[in-house]
């Protein structure tokens, strides 16, 4: 065990662990019946057969190198059997997949596929085994959400990684929790359900869909409002405030001091 923990320090170990973890989770999803199953609608109800077919074609061309020709996984990527449509929609929809480069974690970037292609890929993966589905529109309607309650849930369950103002924060070994500003409601929901990368899962048993809607409503409300006190300095708290007083604050002071003690021409 000691040897393992030492190897864990190796930079590639993080990636290996990540992949291992994804692989395990994927496998478990396929095997175990999870609470999400109730919500995960049968792929055949939502997606047409042609969607699945087109999705498989896209998958083979773009994803199979790492995830295997039948999405059974490989050394380079986890199995997607049982990952569900939500995971695909999140990973592909936010541009994290296909992955640009290996690193501590997949980075957000402009999406590689359009909405239709993403839907087709989701349809294909959903057809492989049951998993969390793309959320229904009613759970994304922020008008219905309770902002205050969402805030409370956010502070207990999310703020420790994503920061109280959702500005993001550091995790171990170079990983990080991204800022949530500008992330689409559907992707926030899907991230909670599927737990991408190292994020824990918040299944519907633990945070019911209505509560997730509250959290999204809280985030969207904050996004729509400007910072009341002026420039928010990245919402990073005392560090950026200290930096400002030692840069701009000090520069303004020194400027006025030098002028004040200089001789007039």
Q: Is 242 in the site for other proteins (CB under 8 A)?
A: yes
Helix (H, G, I), strand (E, B) or coil at 170: strand
Closest separation between CB of residue 218 and other proteins, Å? 6
Cβ contact 94:183 at 8 Å: yes
What is the chain's alpha carbon radius of gyration, rounded to the nearest angstrom? 22
Q: Could you say which of 7, 10, 21, 49 contacts other proteins (CB under 8 A)?
A: 21
User: 147 near 223, Cβ under 8 Å?
Assistant: no
Burial 129-148 (b: 16+ CB within 10 A, else e): bbbbbbbeeebbebeebbbe
Out of 7, 10, 20, 48, point to the residue binding other proteins (CB under 8 A).
20
User: Using CB under 8 A, which of the segments 39-47, 65-73, 133-141, 159-167 binds other proteins?
Assistant: 159-167
The whole-angstrom separation of Cα 144 and Cα 134 is 19
Near other proteins by CB under 8 A: residue from 41, 60, 74, 169: 169
Q: Which of 95, 98, 159, 184 binds other proteins (CB under 8 A)?
A: 159
CB distance 72 to 63 below 8 Å: no
**Per CB under 8 A, 38 contacts other proteins:** no
**Which of residues 114 and 231 has its CB atom nearest to other proteins in the complex?**
231
What is the closest distance, in whole angstroms, from the C-beta atom of residue 77 to other proteins in the complex?
A: 14
Is residue 102 part of the contact set for other proteins (CB under 8 A)? no
In the numeric block, the tokens 């085994």 are attached to 129
Tell which one of 3, 101, 137, 229 touches other proteins (CB under 8 A).
229
Among 163, 187, 190, 191, binds other proteins (CB under 8 A): 163
170 strand-pairing partners: 176
Give CA–CA dist 142/208, Å, rounded: 15
Alpha helices by DSSP H, listed for 8-114, are 11-31, 43-46, 49-62, 64-67, 84-93
Listed ranges 41-49, 53-61, 65-73, 217-225: which one lies at the site for other proteins (CB under 8 A): 217-225
Burial of 45 (0-12, 13-18, 19+ CB in 10 A): exposed
Q: Is 174 in the site for other proteins (CB under 8 A)?
A: yes
**Shortest separation between residue 86's beta carbon and other proteins, angstroms:** 13
Interaction of residue 85 with other proteins, rule CB under 8 A: no
Length of the chain: 265
Task: Specify the stretch interacting with other proteins by CB under 8 A; choose among 49-57, 67-75, 136-144, 239-247.
Answer: 239-247
* The one among 10, 28, 57, 116 contacting other proteins by CB under 8 A: 28
């Amino acid at each position: 065990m000691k040897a393992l923990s030492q190897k864990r320090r190796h930079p590639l170990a993080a990636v290996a662990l990540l992949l291992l973890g994804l692989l395990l989770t994927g496998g478990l999803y396929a095997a175990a019946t999870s609470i999400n199953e109730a919500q995960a609608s049968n792929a055949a109800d939502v997606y047409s057969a042609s969607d699945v077919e087109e999705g498989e074609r896209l998958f083979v061309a773009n994803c199979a190198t790492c995830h295997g020709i039948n999405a059974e996984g490989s050394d380079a990527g986890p199995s997607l059997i049982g990952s569900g449509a939500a995971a695909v929609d999140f990973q592909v929809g936010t541009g994290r997949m296909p992955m640009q480069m290996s690193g501590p974690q997949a980075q957000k970037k402009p999406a590689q596929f359009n909405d239709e292609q993403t839907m087709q890929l989701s349809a294909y993966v959903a057809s492989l085994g049951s998993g969390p589905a793309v959320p229904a529109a009613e759970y994304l309607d922020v008008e219905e959400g309770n902002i205050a309650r969402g805030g409370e849930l956010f502070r207990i369950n999310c703020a420790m990684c994503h920061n109280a103002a959702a500005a993001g924060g550091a995790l171990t070994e170079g990983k990080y929790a991204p800022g949530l500003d500008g992330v689409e409601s559907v992707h926030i929901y899907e991230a909670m359900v599927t737990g991408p990368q190292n994020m824990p899962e918040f299944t519907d048993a633990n945070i019911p869909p209505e509560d997730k809607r509250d959290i999204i409503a809280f985030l969207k409300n904050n996004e729509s409002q400007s910072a009341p006190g002026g420039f928010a300095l990245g919402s990073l708290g005392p560090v950026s405030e200290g930096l400002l007083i030692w840069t701009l604050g000090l520069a303004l002071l020194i400027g006025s001091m030098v002028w004040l003690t200089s001789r007039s021409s």
